[in-house]
Structure 1
Amino acid sequence: MKKTIFLLVLVLSMGIYTGCGKENTEIENSRMEEQTTPENSENDEIHLDDELNIDFTCDYSEDIKEDVDDVVAASTSLQEELTNMEKVTQKYTPLAEAAQTQGEMNVAAHWLYTIWDTELNNLWSRLSSSADRQTKEKLLAEQRNWIDLKEEVTLLNIGSREENGSMYPLLQDSYLEEITKNRAYVLARELAKIKGEDFAMPEVSAKYGTFVDNQETGDIYSSLITRQNWEGTDEAVISIYRQGEMEGSFVDHGNGELSFTSEDGSVKGMIKIDGWNGASFKVTETYGESPFPVGEEVEFPFAF
């Protein structure tokens, strides 16, 4: 009887001290922390669990939060922090690699998106507590606009749930991961300014992207999307407020300038992509009746 009780307690203890997807090492870590001296603490490295227990029914939220917190604590600069975030992504990538069914692929994509969403929230928390009142109000307005815009921008890029069926969660979270990572870099740049740190934004495509004119609101007035379609053809979708929408193809000149021709050939123009600073479109030629006059230039300052 005593042996049975002992085994039961042992099993329960293992359940308490074993997290979803990783072993609990708090006791060992606390002992190591007691032995850590100020000299060697300055050279701390990021130690994430190398092996992930792959379980598609697991809630990794707390694990991801701990990993992000570890990266933030161990990084000596915001530039290093954003670079080190890739280590967290690498840790959870085996989920995507092991996924066999559409449902498992959807789950894996969700957790990869959650990593950057967690980092974004962490950055915002530090920004809001560090910025002066005027800067905070400006950044808060921009962040609220981004939150309001991202759902519509996602719809513009991947289509509706009805169009994509069971693949929709995968496409949605994969795209949200991309734009949330981009937004994290924007907030990190602003926090670096406050802290007096140097910060270099990563290079972005001079060919593909999503850009909007939101008139500093949470609504899209005009939008420009350049992308490669399923057939490998470069295409652009341009929507201009109160004038209409047109789709067409473009030719890349290699310097951020893309020559656009609408599907029906009635409108030609030049798209200029300026990376993180947005993009523009200028109508150069029209044929027949067109709501887009020659010489009209539209700015899309909000880059996703």
Structure 2
Amino acid sequence: MILTAIFFAQAVASGPDCGKAVGIIAQDQCRLAESLKVRGVDCETQRTQSEMNICSYRDFLSADIAMNQAWSRAAGFAKRGATEVLGDPKEHGRLLVAQRAWITFRDAHCAATTGPREIGGSMWPLMHNGCLTELTQERTKQLREYVEPNN
């Protein structure tokens, strides 16, 4: 993911410094907005490998924004509602540990399945972003089910 971010930092015209955005969701939204500034890329009609890579990065950022929003809801539920329902004040801490472990797993799993950047060639960002997107969407669903188990 770091190399993908470097690629887009070089490709995007100068704009706001996303590192100064407050909060992970705001940083992702800023990166997504920056990626949309890459001229001539229409994700509906992507034709080149570079365009596919850019669009896959946009897909990942969108998935990450959704997951972080679901995480905020789940964390709030664990702090407020879950302790009242289940009577366990440590639930938020366990959920936080699980989320951090999941992020470590996701990044390690995708690195393992897509291999090193230098071996993957020009398709590597597409494959890596696809892996990150798929796992992030699955985690979003899990977090939503944590708050609303019947959905």
Residue 56 of structure 2 aligns with which residue? 109
1:49-198 superposed matches below 5 A: 61=29, 95-131=42-78, 132=83, 133-193=89-149, 198=150
Measured on the aligned residues, the alpha-carbon RMSD in Å equals 2.7
Residues of 1 paired with 2:31 and 2:104: CA distance? Answer: 28
Residues of 1 paired with 2:111 and 2:69: CA distance? Answer: 26
Find the residue that maps to 2:76 and give its secondary structure: helix
8 Å Cα contact 2:53-2:123 kept in structure 1? yes
Residues of 2 paired with 1:152 and 1:126: CA distance? Answer: 25
How far 1:135 sits from its partner (Å)? 1.8
Residue 279 of structure 1 aligns with which residue? none
Residues of 2 paired with 1:134 and 1:189: CA distance? Answer: 19
Residues of 2 paired with 1:134 and 1:187: CA distance? Answer: 17
185 and 62 in structure 1: CA distance in 2 versus 1, 3 angstrom threshold: same
Q: 5+ residue gaps in structure 1?
A: 1-55, 66-93, 200-304
Find the residue that maps to 2:75 and give its secondary structure: helix
How far 1:63 sits from its partner (Å)? 10
8 Å Cα contact 2:60-2:130 kept in structure 1? yes
How far 1:61 sits from its partner (Å)? 2.8
Q: Per chain length, whose mean CA-contact separation is higher, i.e. which structure has more relative contact order (CA < 8 Å, sep 6+)?
A: 2
Residues of 2 paired with 1:161 and 1:146: CA distance? Answer: 22
How far 1:117 sits from its partner (Å)? 0.5
Higher helix share: 2
Residues of 2 paired with 1:127 and 1:187: CA distance? Answer: 6
Residues of 2 paired with 1:61 and 1:98: CA distance? Answer: 23
Number of residue pairs aligned between Structure 1 and Structure 2: 112
Find the residue that maps to 1:97 and give its secondary structure: coil
How far 1:99 sits from its partner (Å)? 1.8
8 Å Cα contact 2:31-2:61 kept in structure 1? no
Q: 5+ residue gaps in structure 2?
A: 1-10, 16-27, 34-40, 84-88
How far 1:96 sits from its partner (Å)? 3.1
Report the AA paired with residue 101 of structure 2. Answer: N
Aligned residues with identical type, % of pairs: 28
Find the residue that maps to 2:47 and give its secondary structure: coil
Report the AA paired with residue 120 of structure 1. Answer: M
TM-score (norm 1): 0.33
Residues of 2 paired with 1:57 and 1:173: CA distance? Answer: 18
TM-score (norm 2): 0.64
